[in-house]
Amino acid sequence: MITFEGPVLVTGTDTGVGKTVATAALAAALQRLGRSVEVIKIAQTGDDDDAAEVTRLSGAPARALASYPDPLAPYTAARRSGLPLLKLHDVADTVLAAKAEVVLLEGAGGLLVQLGEGGWTARDLAVELGAPAVVVARAALGTLNHTALTLEALSRRGIDAAVLVGAWPAEPGLAEFENMRDLPGERLGWIPDRAADLAPEVFRLSASEWFDFGEPGSPRA
């Protein structure tokens, strides 16, 4: 079980699994429960602006701590661009200085992608902060292995985690239905595919229906 208090890492089993929409949905749902929420994108690469998308969908304040032009892993993108690498302790200090009750930390790619100086990862940041993790997973074939590996990597460092399906298809097949039954770990919920296409007002109203936080009014998974 994880508790949404203080920093919470939002990571993924891979790139493109829906972390940004999942982060926005979590922010929207937690705000409807009366919690103050801030979102920090650890490092942004390429042309996308995930922090702006989170704010557009959820209304929560969001920012990126670093931005690099190439659509690569942050460590690689920083090296290629010559821009400064993020330092783990500086990022941790920034997170701890945030005033919101819940600080959602969106990673980049999968859990063990190198994010900054010395090759530190989202898992290292979670350990530094004592933060639990939300693992965003796919619904399709391959997700059982990827999810189990990610949860094992978190467990080895003593990090509590819950699993969230990032894009549940409008017309799921046999694999998706069976994967939903067999996904390992604590289940937090699922987000419908193309949720980002909803009007922000609809997105924010709908978000609470996509999660199971435990007891009514309690932001727990």
What is the span of the domain harbouring residue 49?
A: 6-135+154-210
Residue 188 lies in a domain: yes
Question: Is a pLDDT exceeding 70 seen at residue 198?
Answer: yes
Question: Amino acid letter at 197?
Answer: D
Residues 6+ away with beta carbon under 8 Å from 46 = 69, 70, 71, 72, 77
- pLDDT 10s digits, 32-79: 999 999 999 999 999 999 999 999 999 999 999 999 999 999 999 999
Average pLDDT, the chain: 95
Report the distance separating Cα 44 and Cα 40, nearest Å.
Answer: 10
Please tell me whether residue 38 adopts helix, strand or coil conformation.
strand
Burial class (CB in 10 A: 0-12, 13-18, 19+), 16: exposed
pLDDT at 218: 53
Find the catalytic residue in 19, 41, 87, 99. 41
Q: Count H helices and E strands in the chain, helices first.
A: 8, 9
Determine the average pLDDT of the residues in 153-168: 97
Residue 187: band (very low, low, confident or very high) from pLDDT cuts 50, 70, 90: very high
Residue 142 lies in a domain: no
Residue 213: band (very low, low, confident or very high) from pLDDT cuts 50, 70, 90: confident
Residue 15 lies in a domain: yes
Flag the least confident range among 102-106, 148-152, 160-164, 217-221. Answer: 217-221
pLDDT at 219: 57
Residue 139: band (very low, low, confident or very high) from pLDDT cuts 50, 70, 90: very high
Residue 146 lies in a domain: no
Total Cβ atoms within 10 A of residue 78: 24
Residue 143 lies in a domain: no
Give percent of the chain with pLDDT exceeding 70. 96
Residue 199 lies in a domain: yes
pLDDT at 1: 74
pLDDT at 186: 95
Q: Does an H or E element contain 163, and which?
A: strand 161-168
Q: Catalytic residue at 87?
A: no
Q: For the chain, what is the domain count? A: 1
**CATH number assigned to the domain comprising residue 168:** 3.40.50.300
Query: Of 206, 210, 205, 203, which is closest to residue 57 (Cα–Cα)?
Result: 203
Residue 63 lies in a domain: yes
Give percent of the chain with pLDDT exceeding 90. 95
> 42: which 2 tokens?
């650890």
pLDDT at 220: 58
Instruction: Please name the residue that has the structure tokens 């298809």.
Output: 169
Confidence (pTM): 0.94
pLDDT at 136: 98
Residue 218 lies in a domain: no
